[in-house]
């Protein structure tokens, strides 16, 4: 990761970069912490942190010098000391993810000229290494194991919160270090809310139950969605489900490196529109996945950048009919020059419990 960052750093005409956000620190060092900064120049690769993490950081982090900041010492003081020794005149900061006040504070207190990093880290993180891919797959296998077991728990009388809690428990039990995001579990009319929050609503006969969830392994996220029916599915429910599945399969069929995200989105969107449900598909076909659950590239109508081999994206079209029900089906794809590898093995034909 250090060599990638140094290569991109030169393109910014910067002498060093400073990574202060949690996701970029984790990407660079493979170390989780709620505090710390990463300094990288041609000469140095340093991870600064405080007393709480120093022992673990020294044991875990490879390729970086690990330095402890003193109690009450601001990170700017520690970084400025290195800037002086390193004779750095320009340092790049994460202008697109820091708040205005955070960026301004660093800018005012650092002794080197601050230049904006822009999309540098997003560009680096788009294409996954084999090691990154293995972590994503491991996280996905844990989520799939949890999904297989949760099917035995879904029945009339169970609440959305109970299902979400059990999914969380199972993913932690089987090795997830945390959730990729708070699980979405919605049933009945609530399933028409794409990002509905699990509530005390009770599963009933004839409901769809939509579950969107994933976990983290070694800092990397998985993401999957499955919609199941309880007891029975009406003809309308089956029609909507099959339309979503057809759209997803069509998008998966075309997805590959060299295309834009909007090209893939259009294939799936057209199928849903032609079936008469266009107004009920209000989000994109998918998004990148990595150390964050939503990364580049964007696979939606706004996704105008070319996708590279090595990107991991989701394939998750949906139809959401207000006050009735919704359906979403989501897999993860690893893009190659001539197609893609579906990282998701869980069945997606309609399951009726």
Query: Strands, DSSP E only, in 146-254?
Result: 178-179, 184-187, 208-213, 215-217, 220-221, 224-229
Where residue 158 falls among pLDDT bands split at 50, 70, 90? very high
Q: Where are the domains of the chain?
A: 2-125, 130-342
How large a percentage of the chain has pLDDT more than 90? 97
Length of the chain: 353
Fold match flag (2-125 vs 130-342) = no
C-alpha span between 37 and 18 (Å, rounded): 7
pLDDT per position as a tens digit, 297-335: 999 999 999 999 999 999 999 999 999 999 999 999 999
Q: Does residue 173 have a pLDDT over 90?
A: yes
Q: Does residue 1 have a pLDDT over 90?
A: no
Q: Does residue 72 have a pLDDT over 90?
A: no
Report domain 130-342's class.
alpha beta
Instruction: State phi, psi for 19 to the nearest 5 degrees.
Output: -105, 120
137, 183 contact by CB (below 8 A): no
C-alpha span between 267 and 260 (Å, rounded): 12
Residues 6+ apart with CB under 8 A from 110: 18, 76, 79, 80, 83, 91
C-alpha span between 49 and 329 (Å, rounded): 41
| Range 113-120 average pLDDT | 94
pLDDT per position as a tens digit, 218-263: 999 999 999 999 999 999 999 999 999 999 999 999 999 999 999 9
Average pLDDT over the chain, rounded to an integer: 96
**CATH fold of 2-125, please?**
Creatine Amidinohydrolase; Chain A, domain 1 (3.40.350)
């Amino acid at each position: 990761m250090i060599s990638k960052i140094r290569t991109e750093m030169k393109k910014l005409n910067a002498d060093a970069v400073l990574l202060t956000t949690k996701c970029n620190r984790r990407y660079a060092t493979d170390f989780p912490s709620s505090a710390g900064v990463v300094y990288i120049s041609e000469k140095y690769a340093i991870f600064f942190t405080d007393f709480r993490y120093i022992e673990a950081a020294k044991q875990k982090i490879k390729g970086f010098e690990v330095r402890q900041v003193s109690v009450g010492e601001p990170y700017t003081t520690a970084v400025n000391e290195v800037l002086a020794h390193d004779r750095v005149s320009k340092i790049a900061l994460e202008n697109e993810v820091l708040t205005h006040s955070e960026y301004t504070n660093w800018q005012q207190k650092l002794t080197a000229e601050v230049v904006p990093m822009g999309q540098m880290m997003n560009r680096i993180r788009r294409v996954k290494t084999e090691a990154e891919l293995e972590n994503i797959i491991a996280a996905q296998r844990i989520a799939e194991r949890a999904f297989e077991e949760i099917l035995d728990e879904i029945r009339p009388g169970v609440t959305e919160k109970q299902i979400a809690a059990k999914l969380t428990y199972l993913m932690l039990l089987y090795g997830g270090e945390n959730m990729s995001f708070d699980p979405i579990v919605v049933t009945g009319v609530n399933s028409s809310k794409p990002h509905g929050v699990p509530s005390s609503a009770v599963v009933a006969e004839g409901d769809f139950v939509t579950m969107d969830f994933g976990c983290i392994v070694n800092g990397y996220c998985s993401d999957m969605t499955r919609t199941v029916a309880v007891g029975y599915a009406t003809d309308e429910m089956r029609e909507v489900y099959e339309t979503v599945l057809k759209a997803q399969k069509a998008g998966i069929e075309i997805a590959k490196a060299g295309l834009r995200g909007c090209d893939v989105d259009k294939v799936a969107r057209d199928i849903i529109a032609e079936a008469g449900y266009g107004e009920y598909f209000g989000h994109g076909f998918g998004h990148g996945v990595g150390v964050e659950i939503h990364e580049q590239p964007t696979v939606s109508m706004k996704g105008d950048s070319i996708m590279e081999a090595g990107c991991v994206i989701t394939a998750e079209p949906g139809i959401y009919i207000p006050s009735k029900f919704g359906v979403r089906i989501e897999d993860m794809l690893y893009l190659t020059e001539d197609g893609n590898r579906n990282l998701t093995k869980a069945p997606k034909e309609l399951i009726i419990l």
